[in-house]
A and B are shown apart, each in its own frame.
Chain A
Amino acid sequence: MDKKRAVVSVVGKDQIGIIANVTKVLSENKVNILDISQTILQDFFTMIMIVDVSHIKDLGYLQSQLNEVADRMHLKINIQLEEIFQAMHRI
């Protein structure tokens, strides 16, 4: 089976427990984290993770669980397939 990778992006006000809450959702869904990095984008905390979603059938379900965390912590969390980044930034 081909590896399917996705990018999880988290943007919002810095606070305690962002990584803990996001990775909890991922580990509950048995999603392996391949890479993780964080920075400040226009005064906002930004975390980007590359995750392995090869066995995830419905990305929408994962997104809805992440949305719960996002609502609770006033963050913006998105999960998108990595191909879109490849298409936009690589020829």
Chain B
Amino acid sequence: MNISLNEMMETIRMVQIENLDIRTVTMGINLKDCADPDIEKMKEKIYKKIVNYAGNLKEVAEETEREFGIPIINKRISVTPVAEILGNATRVQAVEIAKTLDEAAKATGVDFLGGFSALVHKGMTKSDETLIDAIPESLTVTERVCSSVSIGNTKAGINMDAVRKMGTIIKEAAEMTKDRNGIACAKLVVFCNPVEDNPFMAGAFHGSGEGDAVLNVGVSGPGVVLHALRRHPEADLGEVAEIIKKTAFKITRAGELIGRVVAERLGVPFGIMDLSLAPTNAVNDSVAEILEEIGVERVGTHGTIAALALMNDAVKKGGAMASSYVGGLSGAFIPVSEDNGMIRGVLEQSLSLEKLEAMTCVCSVGLDMIAVTGDVSPEALSAIIADEAAIGMVNKKTTAVRIIPVPGKKEGEMVEFGGLLGRAPVMGVNEYSSEKLIRRGGRIPAPIQALTN
């Protein structure tokens, strides 16, 4: 059927004026067959496998981008959680593997490689522990490697020993990169209920239920949704949901087509489409501004959660209609440093840490890219992680914490992380201690919601 002029112009407007883009094509690569007791051999196998599969990723993505005229912003790789192949390696050897991953990422031209990860939601093996101990140094000496740790899920409960450990690890990572505002922490995510096919960084890893290689696509488009809403200032909330849903549908369809073409050209199966409204610091590419367009004066004020819930749900519905393989996190991201509207909300004291926590109950992830004062205690960080994990566990959803205790910075100061990671105002944390809770350790039992069989 022929496409009308109006429809063609809508697509062109979305790309040229409203920042419609494919945020990322992420190739998942299984590394289980690279495990080897000889660390040098293992490094060689890992490097070869990644370069072999993803060597053409950047080139093919760029070619597809040119042909369809829709920008693909990032090309990325996710790998099997490295803890699963570490075996008896030492902490120093784990850091070596991180360096190998970094070299492979550079060789393939991708900007981030995720999967320096461990899944410890119920217990911790020796190799999990080795990997976690290696995280601070690994994220300091590498540039493109991202790390994630799963510390809880709805079926298993929350591993509070791991939560306690992660508070210390985050502090250590910040300290080791204190000359760069604690940037290592921006590459580290602590998860509850992580998904195995998430294409977005820093939390992407190639799950154990996946095949040898897969291509997952993340599309975005806060700008497109924002502009669509601006054209209907008088719409009631039912109509607002409808507008968001229709827009999400179109964005997803574009993403799926591009994803399938890239996957076919690379000779790997297409995995999933992750439709997440992921903001960037570009003008009008903000999730916060969508909420403000729906009707809150500043993000964070009363009504923010209702608006976010409506938006997140409409995005999912549009995406689900558009593609049979919607997966990943699919919803809305609310990182602070990567969203100009969120930054403004914090600066103008409309948005607080507590409100951000509450917002994570109704959107796709969690506390994301939040800078806090450098003197925050490891126990406070652990307790923040525990709160987020509890929200995820009880609500059967993914929650995550990516928090940066910026060394030497006080509440209200601005920190620059550079590039995609943006800039953030430093927030304070509650001054009362959570130390006793964290010191208790153990495991928070799985909630009654887990008993579904």
> Does B257 count as interface, using CB distance less than 8 angstroms?
yes
Inter-chain contact A80/B9, CB cutoff 8 Å: no
Inter-chain contact B12/A84, CB cutoff 8 Å: no
Point out the residue from B9, B11, B16, B66 that lies within 8 Å of A84, measured CB to CB: B11
User: Which range contains the number of B residues in contact with the other chain?
Assistant: 20 to 34
Point out the residue from A37, A48, A84, A87 that lies within 8 Å of B69, measured CB to CB: A84
A30 to B184, CA, bound (A): 53
The distance from the CB of B209 to the nearest CB of chain A, in whole angstroms, is 28
Inter-chain contact A7/B8, CB cutoff 8 Å: yes
Of B172-180, B248-256, B351-359, B434-442, which binds chain A? Answer: B248-256
> Does B67 count as interface, using CB distance less than 8 angstroms?
yes
Contacts of B256 in A (CB 8 A): 87
Point out the residue from B10, B66, B250, B258 that lies within 8 Å of A63, measured CB to CB: B66
- Please report which residues of chain A, range 20-50, place their CB below 8 angstroms from some CB of chain B when the two chains form the complex: 37, 39, 41, 46, 48
Contacts of B13 in A (CB 8 A): 41
> Does A72 count as interface, using CB distance less than 8 angstroms?
no
Inter-chain contact B257/A83, CB cutoff 8 Å: yes
Contacts of A86 in B (CB 8 A): 1, 3
Nearest A residue to B13 via CB reads A41
If A80-B68, A81-B67 touch, does A89 touch B11 (CB 8 Å cutoff)?
Answer: yes
- Please report which residues of chain B, range 220-255, place their CB below 8 angstroms from some CB of chain A when the two chains form the complex: 250, 253-254
User: Which range contains the number of A residues in contact with the other chain?
Assistant: 20 to 34
A39 to B63, CA, bound (A): 30
A59 to B5, CA, bound (A): 22
Inter-chain contact B12/A9, CB cutoff 8 Å: yes
Inter-chain contact B257/A59, CB cutoff 8 Å: no
The distance from the CB of B239 to the nearest CB of chain A, in whole angstroms, is 20
The distance from the CB of A54 to the nearest CB of chain B, in whole angstroms, is 14
Inter-chain contact A80/B254, CB cutoff 8 Å: no
- Please report which residues of chain A, range 62-91, place their CB below 8 angstroms from some CB of chain B when the two chains form the complex: 63, 76, 78-90
Inter-chain contact B257/A87, CB cutoff 8 Å: yes
> Does A11 count as interface, using CB distance less than 8 angstroms?
yes
Chain B residues in the interface with A (C-beta under 8 A): 1, 3, 5, 7-13, 15-16, 63, 66-70, 250, 253-254, 256-258
**A86-B1, A88-B11 are known contacts; what are 8 more A-B pairs with Cβ within 8 Å?**
A60-B66, A78-B69, A80-B69, A83-B257, A84-B11, A88-B250, A89-B3, A90-B1
**12 residue pairs bridging A and B, Cβ less than 8 Å apart:** A39-B5, A41-B9, A48-B5, A63-B66, A80-B68, A82-B3, A84-B257, A84-B258, A85-B11, A87-B253, A87-B256, A88-B253
